[in-house]
Structure 1
Amino acid sequence: MKPLRVGVLAVLTASAVALTMSGASAHDPDTPEGQAAARAFMADYRPAERHAVTGTAAGVPCVNGKADIYPCKNVDLLSVLPLAQMGGGNGNDIWGWTDPSSGKEYAIVGRTNGTAFVDVSTPTAPKYLGNLPSNGGSSTWRDMKVYKDHAFIVADFISGHGMQVFDLTRLRTITTPQTLTADALYKEFGPAHNIAINEETGYAYAIGSNTCRGGPHMVDIRTPKSPKNAGCVSQDGYTHDNQCVIYRGPDAAYRGKEICFNSNEDTLTIVDVTDKANPVQISRKGYSGAQYSHQGWLTEDQRYFLLDDELDESRGTDKRTKTYIWDLASLANPVHTGVYNSPATAIDHNQYIKGKYSYQANYQAGLRILDVSNVAAAQLTEAGFFDIYPAADEAKFNGAWSNYPYFASGIVLVNGIEQGLVVVKPNLGAVEPPPGGKFENTTDVSIPDAGAAVTSSVAVSGLGGKAPATLKVNVDIKHPYRGDLVIDLVAPDGTAYRLKGSSNDGGDNVIATYDVNASAEDAVGTWLLKVQDVYRSDVGYIDAWSLQF
């Protein structure tokens, strides 16, 4: 997607291209700057794919790391509906709708030239129903959300697009593909990069528009076909994406209020929008490693926020996909507690949390599913993935743009820039021991100077019986004075095995493999690496560690 610093700097991404221009010219396809930005964005694109997988009643299971042509783990393929079969163009955002009267599930598929509607109630045979054309031209960036059985659709880079409103109940009677028309058009902004909706309150938030300094443009949609302007959130300028909720989290001062969590280019910015005429900025917080704060989502208890940064991989030397973890115990003082580093090397994009999993659409790495159960310790683990772009895993803009994981059936929709609609079914209860019995944690954990011990966990599953008498513990700890450190391996039952005590050794780092006689321990469970710095003057971090069974 495209970030934009209004009036100062436009950073056009998903292309990750920085161009000095005004906010108006960045949105205007008739200006040289706008045309250059569009050309730069398209540079990574490949021709649309025509590979379809439909009509098989059981889909294609993920076996030995593959489903059809796609690399996978714990995620089965149900079908692929190429772009050419639902109106053409390139894919972008996606959302879903469940018909409350029939229980049928529908995909709302964003494309550069319009919005496709697809019946996925038989997910192995998706049925294309029709296209709602773009209002005023083609746009690489299109976004949509649903409220009260209506879709609300915005597009960037089109000066007069506005917000299309489409009554989804019209899909019930369609039997052959149609060209559709909007039921209403909201015109108080032109282009908008994204839209968020708080379904509890009936307010939409158009973000990255040509109003409100690019901040949330609030719209009352409680009567869906008669949307009304409700005000602006403009204190912190351009917002790239956000999530707005009735707050029920741990900070008692804000419970019951409507709070927006905004990804604002270089910060997480939290705003109380309860009074639409007087929104109040609660906090604005940057973080180490920030390049472009893109999008994020709350855990279901609203205590933690996972943030993706769209430019840190392409601009940094470490190309692993990173997820920034925030503790929101205090909304006035959000704390960045850690970073999850994916084993994949790709740019992260849109993520949504359902239950204990975060479903991330990470461009060339496809759909990545993270278990957030241990988020309180700033640790995430990969539970499954489905790579819709098997050609490569690089920090480029191809493949999975977004996903929708909220259907009751458990299917997940993925929209690919070149691929179109990919329908998959996670099987996250599956136990798949890693190759060679190696279980690893690559999430960085900071070690405080002369402070309390910190731990990093590895969850072992899929094995039987006891651990071996020569359990190998591979440790990679970065510290400028390794003699300060005391390191233990802690078994699932709490038994500690000393790996290293403090000493006068003045060398850097602990990069070593230890053999532990753990034959008294059950193999399955959560093992901990426990590290404490016992002397003052320097700090370090656990870079990675693993157990080899």
Structure 2
Amino acid sequence: MKRNALKNIISILSICVICMFLQNCSNEDTDNPNSDIDNDTILNAFDNCPSIANVDQLDSDNDGIGDVCDDDDDNDGVLDVNDNCPLIANPGQEDSNNNGLGDSCDGDNLPQFPCVNGLAGGYPCSGFDLMSHISAEELGGSGAEGNDSWGWTDPDTGKEYALVGTTSGSAFVDISSPANPILLGRLPTATTTSLWRDIKVYNNHAFIVSEATDHGMQVFDLTRLRNVANPPETFSADANYNGFGSAHNIVINENSGFAYVVGSNTFSGGPHFINIQNPTNPIAAGGYASDAYSHDAQVVTYNGPDADHTGKEILIGSNENEVVIIDVTNKNAPTQISSIDYSNIGYTHQGWFTENMQYFLLGDEIDEIDFGGNSRTIVFDFTDLDNPVFHMDYFGPTEAIDHNGYVVGNTFYIANYAAGMRVIDISNIASGVMTETGYIDTYIANDNTDFNGAWNIYPFFESGNILISDIEGGMFIARANN
């Protein structure tokens, strides 16, 4: 037994000695500048990956290590094996169209017109690239102009779609590849053409109103956009609601499933309530006429700082000459909570809450015309809905008329007519400070106080794509650059 054990020990030691010898030889070969251990015809002294053959010597990130030996070619902290764009740094791994290819190297997500030296395809810009553009004529036909717009993200596929109003109807555009949008089709106006058309979305359906005579409300099932064989198609509505004739605008509270049509020929132009919980079977649900004509509104299920109204359905109406706050929880008995006016009223047009519902940012459409000065946004403190107070005025850099504005996080996006889309940082709004951080001007001719240019902004896509609808220009897709 002892002799066998000794023989086994000698055998193990012999193997170890051989292994050490081979390892030393290997190291010596690698370290020998005049050898070529990987047999790729490049001597170790000049080979950026001497242990693995790489005749092409590719080194994409110029770090001195050949790609075949480099675990992180773009040095973005994501190993190549897990990186959706291994040769271009993209530490966030953004993939807006969910095609497995990172935005940084996906041609469909690279802008057609980057913002370079203050211009994106001829359009003045700062901080935003122009991903693509579709003309008003392509969207709506010969002689068409653009107006309002909204967006829809397909919950099943994650694809993003632009819904753009024109004088002749509504256009539906697949923008999942924002640099190469596809016009899928058009829904013609229900009656006649009109300069005014408004679109909102609930439960995968679009709800469309217009100031066209007897237009009513069209309902369109957006899931039909998933299977369009020969775009662009001409669509028909899936339902029509005729509880009113013409209307200026429509607002939807997606939490409650109610639509609020404003500026119609019912309820003295005040909000007309519609139950749309079954989208293709809209049901009249009353209205509110006490404050007369409402031009625009926002309706929320309230969760702001005023605990007296938590959980209630609150409508903030922009009513030509004042802002009104209405409790519309009980559709049979809506009641005014308060109202507020302000100095230099031209036309109380449209407003939007900050996300914490403390401040309300209002645009007056013709104060620049009536009183002069630069674009003005009026900010109210709505901490107490029963006693709203003026907080501040923000003045933009041009004399262009402000139109529709929306808040996402600490950013306020304004459709500023002839000055295009303006982007405002509101993180210091409590201190009375708002600062413009970027823009893309879709109306090149001028920044005058006229009704030309950007009508609406839709900034709510998770991808960061921003939709701009423009009267003369049609549809623009913008995105913040780096």
The normalised TM-score by structure 1 is: 0.67
1:66 aligned partner, one-letter code = L
Aligned partner of 1:379 in structure 2 is 433
Q: How does 1:261-300 map to 2 (within 5 A)?
A: 261-300=316-355
**Residue in structure 1 matched with residue 179 of structure 2 by the alignment:** 124
Quick check: 2:294–2:319 contact (8 Å CA) kept in 1?
yes
Q: Quick one: distance in 1 between partners of 2:116 and 2:267?
A: 50
Q: Count residues with an aligned counterpart.
A: 373
More helix by share: 2
Alpha carbons 1:367, 1:403 under 8 Å: kept: yes
Spell out the pairing of 1:134-533 with structure 2 (5 A cutoff).
134-156=189-211, 158-175=212-229, 176-318=231-373, 320-427=374-481
Question: 1:340 deviation in Å?
Answer: 0.3
Letter of the structure 1 residue corresponding to residue 467 of structure 2 = L
Tell me, in whole angstroms, the C-alpha distance in 1 between the residues paired with 2:372 and 2:346. 13
Inter-partner Cα distance in structure 2 for 1:65 and 1:317: 27
Q: Which structure dedicates a bigger proportion of its chain to strand?
A: 1
User: What is the letter of the counterpart of residue 405 of structure 1?
Assistant: P
Amino acid at match of 2:139: M
Which residue identity lines up with residue 79 of structure 1 in the other structure? S
Contact 2:327 2:336 in 1 (8 A): yes
The CA deviation at 1:56 is 8.8
Using the TM superposition, give the Cα deviation of residue 234 of structure 1 relative to its aligned residue in structure 2, in angstroms: 1.1
Distance 2:219 2:409 in 1: 30
Task: Please tell me whether the aligned partners of residues 363 and 403 of structure 2 are also in contact (alpha carbons under 8 angstroms).
Answer: yes
Equivalent residues of 1:186, 1:227 under 8 A apart: yes
Residue 61 of structure 1 and its aligned partner are, at CA, apart by: 1.6
Paired with 2:394 and 2:296, the residues of 1 have a C-alpha distance of 21
2:223 aligned counterpart, secondary structure: helix
Q: How big is each residue's C-alpha offset from its partner over 1:410-469, in whole Å with a ceiling of 9 and x where there is no partner?
A: 010001101011001023xx5xxxxxxxxxxxxxxxxxxxxxxxxxxxxxxxxxxxxxxx
1:86 match: secondary structure: helix
The counterpart of 2:130, out of the listed 55, 73, 77, is 77
What CA distance in whole angstroms lies between the structure 2 residues aligned with 1:426 and 1:397? 26
SS at match of 2:461: coil
The whole-number CA distance in structure 1 between the counterparts of 2:285 and 2:458 is 28
Q: Scaled by the length of structure 2, what TM-score is found?
A: 0.76
Identity rate of aligned residues, in percent? 51
Q: Secondary structure at the match of 1:313?
A: helix
Q: Which runs of 4+ in 1 moved over 6 A?
A: none
One-letter amino acid of the structure 2 residue matched with residue 360 of structure 1: I
Structure 2's unaligned 5+ residue stretches are 1-106
How far residue 317 of structure 1 moved from its aligned partner, in angstroms, is 2.6
Q: Does the 8 Å contact 2:111/2:132 carry over to 1?
A: no
Larger-Rg structure: 2
2:117 and 2:352 map into 1 onto residues whose CA distance is 32
Task: Indicate conservation of the 8 Å contact 2:199/2:250, yes or no.
Answer: yes
SS in 1 for 2:386: coil
Deviations 1:162-212 (A, max 9, x none): 000000000100032111000000000010000000000000000000001
Conservation of the 8 A alpha-carbon contact between 2:204 and 2:223 = yes
1:68 aligns with 2:121: yes
The Cα shift of 1:63 comes to 1.8
CA distance in 2, matches of 1:228, 1:379: 44
| 1:149/1:167 contact within 8 Å kept | yes
Could you tell me whether the CA contact under 8 Å between 1:325 and 1:378 is conserved in 2?
Answer: no
Gaps of 5+ in 1: 1-53, 431-549
Report the Cα distance in structure 2 between the residues aligned to 1:336 and 1:426, rounded to whole angstroms. Answer: 32
Aligned-partner Cα distance in 2 for 1:415–1:299: 23
Identify the residue that residue 9 of structure 2 maps to in structure 1.
none
